[in-house]
Structure 1
Amino acid sequence: MADGGSGVAAGAGFASLRPMVAPRSVAVIGASDEPTRIGGRPVHSMIQRGFSGALWPVNPKRDRVQGLVAYPDIAALPGAPDAAIIAVPGALAEQAVDELGRRGCPAAIVFTAGYAEVDEAGRAAQEQLVSTARAHGMRLLGPNCLGLFNAPLGYFPIFTSSFDVGWPVDPIPGRGRVGIASQSGAYGTHLFGAARNRGISTPVLVTTGNEAEVTLGDVIGWMAEDDGVDIIAAYSEGVREGPHFLAALEAARRAGKPVVMMKVGRSALGAHAAQSHTASIAGDDAVTGVVLEEFGVHRARNTEEMLDVVYAATPRIYPVRNTLGVVSISGGAGVMISDAAEEQGIPMPPMPEAAQARLKALIPFSNPSNPVDCTAQVFNDMALVGAFARSMVEDGGYSSLIAFFTTVGASPALAPRLRAELNAVRADHPDRLWCLSVLAPPERVREYEADGYLVFEDPSRAVVALAAQGRFGAAFARVPRGTVPLPAVTLPQATPNEAEAKRILADAGVPAVPEATATSMEEAVEAARAIGFPVVMKLLSPDILHKSEIGGVMLNVADEEAVRANYERLMWNAAENAPKARVTGVLVARQVSGAVEVALGILRDPVFGPVAMVGLGGVFIEVLRDVALRRCPVDVAEAEAMIRSLRGFPLLDGARGRPRADVPALAWALSALSAFAVAAGERLVSVDVNPVLVLPEGQGAWAADAVIELAQGG
Structure 2
Amino acid sequence: MPFASPAVTKRVRAPAASLAALFSPTSIAVIGASSNPTRFTGKIIPTLLRQGYKGTIYPVNAKSAEIAGLKCYPELAAIPGPVDCIVYALAPEQMHNALRGAKQLGAKLLVVASAGFAERGDEEGKRLQDELVALAHENGMRVIGPNCIGFANFADRVCATAAAAMDWPDIQPGRIGLVSQSGGLGFATVLFNALEEGIGFSHVVTTGNEADLDTIDIARFLVNDARTDVIAITIEAVRDPEGFIEFLGLARDAGKPVVVLKSGRTDLGKVMAASHTGALAGSAEVFEAVCRQFGVTCTHDVDEFYQIAAMFGKLRAAGKLKRPVAPGSKCTAFSISGGHIGLFADHASTHGLKFAPFSATTMAAIERELGFSGNFQNPLDTTARAIGDDAFWGRCLRVLLEDESVDIAVPIITVARSYDRAIEDFIALAGESEKIVTVLWAGGSFEGNGMCLLRESTVPVFRTAARAAAAIEALDRYCTVQHREQQDAVWRNAGGAEKARDLLREAAKSGKSSLTERESKEVLTALGFPATKEQAVNTAADAVAAARAIGYPVALKGEHPDILHKSEAGIVFLSLQDEQAVAAAFETIVERMQKAVPGDKRGRVLVQEMLPQGTELILGLTRDPEFGLVVLCGLGGIYVEILNDVSMRLPPFSQDEALRMIGELRGVKILQGARGREPVNLDKVADLLVALGDFAAANRDLVKEVDINPLIAVGGDRLNMADALIVLNKQVS
TM-score, normalised via structure 2 length: 0.84
Distance 1:86 1:652 in 2: 60
How far residue 689 of structure 1 moved from its aligned partner, in angstroms, is 1.4
Most deviating of 699-708 and 61-70: 61-70
For residue 110 of structure 1, the aligned residue among 112, 116, 124 is 112
Change (3 A) 1:271 1:145: farther
Aligned to 1:145: 148
Does the 8 A contact of 1:6 with 1:483 survive in 2? no
After TM superposition, the structure 1 = structure 2 runs for residues 349-428 of structure 1, keeping only pairs within 5 Å, are 349-362=356-369, 363-365=371-373, 368-379=376-387, 384-395=392-403, 398-408=406-416, 410-411=417-418, 415=419, 418=422, 425-426=429-430, 428=432
**Native 8 Å contact 2:133 2:143 kept in 1:** no
How big is each residue's C-alpha offset from its partner over 1:267-295, in whole Å with a ceiling of 9 and x where there is no partner?
Answer: 249999xxxxxxxxx97111122122222
1:470 matched to which residue of 2? 476
One-letter code aligned to 2:727: I
Paired amino acid for 1:320:
V
Q: Secondary structure at the match of 1:203?
A: strand
SS in 2 for 1:91: helix
SS at match of 1:296: coil
Structure with greater contact order relative to length (CA < 8 Å, sep ≥ 6): 2
Are the structure 2 counterparts of residues 428 and 534 from structure 1 closer, same or farther at C-alpha, using a change threshold of 3 Å? Answer: closer
The range that moved more, 132-141 or 196-205, is 132-141
Residues 1:700 and 2:719 are matched in the alignment: yes
Secondary structure at 2:220's aligned position in 1? Answer: helix
Classify the secondary structure of the residue corresponding to 2:160: coil
Pick which of 177-186 and 527-536 moved more: 527-536
Name the counterpart of 1:305.
304
Decide which of 603, 608, 612 is 1:593's aligned counterpart: 612
1:579 aligns with 2:598: yes
For residue 566 of structure 2, what is the aligned residue in structure 1? 547
Letter paired with 1:211: E
Kindly state the Cα deviation for residue 188 of structure 1 after the two structures are TM-superposed. Answer: 1.0
Match of 1:616 among 615, 635, 638: 635
Partner of 2:467: 461
Residue 104 of structure 1 and its aligned partner are, at CA, apart by 6.9
Change over 3 Å in CA distance of 1:457–1:50 after alignment to 2: closer
The alpha-carbon deviation at position 466 of structure 1 amounts to 3.8
Is the counterpart of residue 321 in structure 1 residue 322 in structure 2?
Answer: no
Correspondence for 2:517 among 494, 498, 503: 498
Q: CA RMSD in A?
A: 3.8
Counterpart position of 1:276 = none
Q: CA deviation at 1:192?
A: 0.8
Report the CA distance shift for 1:534/1:265 in structure 2 as closer, same or farther (over 3 A).
same
Q: Within 5 A, what are the aligned runs for 1:128-277?
A: 128-129=130-131, 132=134, 136=138, 138-164=141-167, 167-171=168-172, 176-189=174-187, 190-268=189-267
Cα 1:343–1:95, aligned 2, differ >3 Å: closer, same or farther? farther
The 2-side partners of 1:117 and 1:271 are apart by 22
Deviation of 1:262 after TM superposition, in Å, equals 1.9
CA 1:454–1:649: 2 relative to 1, 3 Å: closer
Aligned to 2:453: 447
2:135 & 2:527 partners in 1: Cα distance?
43
SS state at 2:177 partner? strand
Instruction: Give the Cα–Cα distance (whole angstroms) in 2 for the partners of residues 636 and 107 of structure 1.
Output: 46
Kindly state the Cα deviation for residue 144 of structure 1 after the two structures are TM-superposed: 1.5
Structure-2 residue corresponding to 1:32:
34
Q: Alpha carbons of 1:468 and 1:222: their partners in 2 closer, same or farther (altered >3 Å)?
A: same
Aligned-partner Cα distance in 1 for 2:565–2:343: 48
Aligned-residue offset at 1:103:
8.1
Distance 1:347 1:268 in 2: 33
Q: Tell me whether 15-24 or 100-109 shows the greater mean CA deviation.
A: 100-109
Provide the C-alpha distance between the structure 1 equivalents of 2:4 and 2:231, rounded to a whole number of angstroms. 28
Residue 676 of structure 1 deviates from its aligned partner by: 1.2
> How far 1:135 moved relative to its partner?
6.2
Conservation of the 8 A alpha-carbon contact between 1:216 and 1:245: no
Corresponding letter in the other structure for 2:398: R
- Secondary structure, counterpart of 1:700 in structure 2: strand
The aligned counterpart of 2:486 is 480
Partner of 2:274: none
Contact 1:180 1:192 in 2 (8 A): no
Question: Structure 1 residues 541 and 85, CA, compared in 2 at 3 Å: closer, same or farther?
Answer: farther
Q: Structure 2 CA distance, aligned partners of 1:182 and 1:216?
A: 7
Relative to structure 2, which stretch is displaced further, 70-79 or 387-396?
70-79
Are positions 1:429 and 2:437 aligned together? no
Cα distance in 2 for residues equivalent to 1:202 and 1:546: 53
Q: SS of the residue aligned with 1:500?
A: helix
State the Cα deviation string for residues 215-241 of structure 1 (Å, max 9, x = none).
322222221211121222222233221
Query: What secondary structure, in the 3-state scheme, does the structure 2 residue paired with 1:511 have?
Result: coil
Q: 1:683 to 1:155 in 2, by over 3 A?
A: farther
Note the alpha carbon deviations across 1:436-488, whole angstroms, 9 max, x for none.
63622473422354565444444553343344333333333233352342744
Cα 1:21–1:522 change in 2 (3 A) is: farther
CA distance in structure 1 between the partners assigned to 2:53 and 2:107 by the alignment? 19
Look up the SS of the partner of 1:548 in the other structure.
coil
One-letter amino acid of the counterpart of residue 156, structure 2? L
Q: 1:424 to 1:698 in 2, by over 3 A?
A: closer
Residues 1:581 and 1:192: Cα distance change in structure 2 (over 3 Å): farther
Secondary structure of the residue aligned to 1:461 is helix
Q: Contact conserved, 1:544 with 1:581, CA < 8 A, in 2?
A: no
Q: Structure 2 stretches of 5 or more lacking a match? A: 272-280
Q: Larger deviation: 399-408 or 553-562? A: 553-562
1:661 paired to 2:680: yes
Segments of 5+ residues of structure 1 without an aligned counterpart are 273-281
1:176-208 Cα deviation digits (max 9, x unpaired): 422222121112122111111111112311112
* TM-score, normalised by the number of residues in structure 1: 0.86
8 Å CA contact retained: 1:97, 1:132 = no
More deviation in 685-694 or 132-141?
A: 132-141
Q: Distance in 2 between matches of 1:290 and 1:224?
A: 22
Distance verdict in 2 for CA 1:432–1:71, change over 3 Å: same
**Structure 2 residue matching 1:549: 3-state secondary structure:** coil
1:14 is aligned to 2:19: no
- Match in the other structure for 1:632: 651
Matched length: 696
Opposite residue 200 of structure 1, the aligned amino acid is I
Per-residue CA deviations over 1:76-130 (Å, capped at 9, x if unaligned) read 6668754332222223347767985798754332222233433232563366247
Amino acid at match of 1:387: R
Distance apart, 1:75 and its partner CA: 5.6
- Letter of the 2:285 partner, please give it: A
